[in-house]
Amino acid sequence: MIDLLYFDSDIAVCVKPAGVFSEGDGKNCMPYLLSLELKERGIDASVFVVHRLDRETEGLTVFALNEASAAALSLSFQNGDAVKIYHALCVGVIEKDADVLCDLLFYDRGRGKSFVVDRERKGVRKASLEYSVLRRFADRTLISVRLHTGRTHQIRVQFASRGHALCGDRRYGAPSEYGNKLCLCAVSLSFTHPRTKERMSFEIENPYK
């Protein structure tokens, strides 16, 4: 079952497991699983997706439980009011303690991958993030990441293109000795409640100590 951290008549905040889709109607999709969990708690509501995590990514997500809340939360994510912080474990030692990474990304739907490209053209979008190093190990680095843009596989491809693929991310070139489970987790989430306008913040423990 889903780890449900908070819910009311407007929203539900939960932890998405790795391997589960953020959207869709199937039994391996968050709306279906969250609906089951809410029914167990006496809430029979529609579930609206307002932001997404990659299937392989785990961590905090918020869902709307009515159309008005869905519209308000979607706008919150679009205009930057909602903030997600990720922790990631990268291959190799990242030397800079903190930096801003800016790239042009192209998502190839046929291959299911994003690529860093050197010029703007149709389908290419600007991508930006900021990171800080939390801890360095002998052959890997734990980082905290805040996205400025929300492109497909953005964190994964931006670090992989610099020789620091996320551990377990075989799609973007992480060596097999770093495992097969993507080490990327949304550990912090803050947003404005769509009805009460209260600022809400949630955190979960970093899983990559």
Residues labelled catalytic: 54
Pairing outcome for strands 184-192 and 58-64: parallel
Cβ-count burial of 15 within 10 angstroms (0-12 exposed, 13-18 middle, 19+ buried)?
middle
Residue 185 CA to residue 2 CA, distance in Å, equals 16
Backbone angles phi, psi at 5, to 5 degrees: -90, -35
Q: Which amino acid is at 46?
A: S
Maximum Cα–Cα distance across the chain: 52
Half-sphere exposure in the Cβ direction for 102 (13 Å, CA):
3
